[in-house]
Structure 1
Amino acid sequence: MIEIERKFLVISNAFKAEATSQTKIKQGFLNTHPERTVRVRLKGEQGFLTVKGKSTSDGTSRFEWETQVSKTEAENLLKLCEKGMIDKTRYEVLVGNHTFEIDVFSGENAGLIIAEVELNHVTEVFKKPLWLGDEVTGQSQYYNSQLSKRPYNTWNK
């Protein structure tokens, strides 16, 4: 279960007109060790527990395991998480043969918008929409686990 993805900043809200869905997400981290993260997520009415391994040196790939848990279990696990919650709205946009997941952060990370695209292999070619900005793949400060510790609104921009 290797996840291969690339991340980009988003430079306009044009993606919203193309979105096929939008879902509120609240997530926290039971563990944010550099070798592994353990995430609890409430996505709409569904709960998830996810374990992610350390990223490759270029940041494109890492082990990921996820299982669904009940909403109540997720809510209870969120109470055990490390300090710093992530609140965001996820939009899904189909571009060519790929689905981009665009996260519009709120709370302490308001102002940050990141698009992710999952790939089948590292060198896979994909269409880049006009609203896609600079690539931030592998830049750890954009990982949700790091945003929970050092929110976007604390950065010197």
Structure 2
Amino acid sequence: MALEIERKFLVKNDAFKNEALKKQKIIQGFLSSVPERTVRIRVIENLGYITIKGIGNASGVSRFEWEKEIEVEEALNLLKICEPGVIDKTRYYIKSDNHTFEVDEFYGENNGLIIAEIELISENETFTKPEWLGKEVTGITKYYNSSLVKNPYKLW
């Protein structure tokens, strides 16, 4: 199992789109959304994935993560038995010095929400913050995809 060290931020505007190296359509659901063991099924373009994440540490920055590529047909079938709700989003990849921000623009029940994530080597690692980066929401569970399925942005 690998340790995921990640920080999350709201995004102020769509200026990030001009800096994107690529973008991908993502659909995902959850077989389990309990914080101790979130099990996610994801389809990115023509690839399928199953991911298991553990509960975050006290700061919300680090948690265990295991991911495996699966056949897209398997992922589509597993999505049919997921908990109610689906995450529909486009992910943009933006290079910033030695890091890459992944910016998710949500649709459907979460339309209007845009969140940027950056993976780090350590919790104290420094990085350049682009102008379009807004308030940090690391560790705030309502911004987790597994929470957005149950309590979508449109209901806030």
Shorter-chain TM-score bucket reads: over 0.9
1:126-141 to 2 correspondence within 5 Å? 126-141=127-142
Which residue of the partner structure matches residue 35 of structure 1?
36
Shift of 1:33: 1.1
Question: Quick one: which amino acid aligns to residue 150 of structure 1?
Answer: N
Shift of 1:86: 0.2
Q: What root-mean-square deviation, in Å, do the aligned CA atoms of Structure 1 and Structure 2 show?
A: 0.4
Which residue of the partner structure matches residue 152 of structure 1?
153
Please give the alpha-carbon distance, in whole angstroms, between the structure 2 residues aligned to 1:151 and 1:33.
16
Please give the alpha-carbon distance, in whole angstroms, between the structure 1 residues aligned to 2:35 and 2:46.
29
Report Cα offsets for 1:99-147 as digits up to 9, x if no partner. 0000000000000000000000000000000000000000000000000
Question: Quick one: which amino acid aligns to residue 57 of structure 2?
Answer: T
Secondary structure of residue in 1 paired with 2:33: strand
Stretches of 4+ moved more than 4 A in 1? Answer: none
What percent of counterpart residues are identical? 58
Shift of 1:44: 0.7
Which residue of the partner structure matches residue 89 of structure 2?
88
Please give the alpha-carbon distance, in whole angstroms, between the structure 2 residues aligned to 1:31 and 1:58.
22
Question: Quick one: which amino acid aligns to residue 31 of structure 1?
Answer: S
Instruction: Provide structure 2 residue ranges, at least 5 long, that are not aligned to the other structure.
Output: none
Please give the alpha-carbon distance, in whole angstroms, between the structure 1 residues aligned to 2:35 and 2:102.
24
Please give the alpha-carbon distance, in whole angstroms, between the structure 1 residues aligned to 2:110 and 2:33.
18
Please give the alpha-carbon distance, in whole angstroms, between the structure 2 residues aligned to 1:5 and 1:34.
16
1:110-129 to 2 correspondence within 5 Å? 110-129=111-130
Report Cα offsets for 1:9-31 as digits up to 9, x if no partner. 00011100000000000000000
TM-score normalised by the chain length of structure 1: 0.98
Which residue of the partner structure matches residue 68 of structure 1?
69
TM-score normalised by the chain length of structure 2: 0.99
Shift of 1:34: 2.0
Question: Quick one: which amino acid aligns to residue 139 of structure 2?
Answer: G
Please give the alpha-carbon distance, in whole angstroms, between the structure 2 residues aligned to 1:112 and 1:77.
26
Shift of 1:57: 1.0
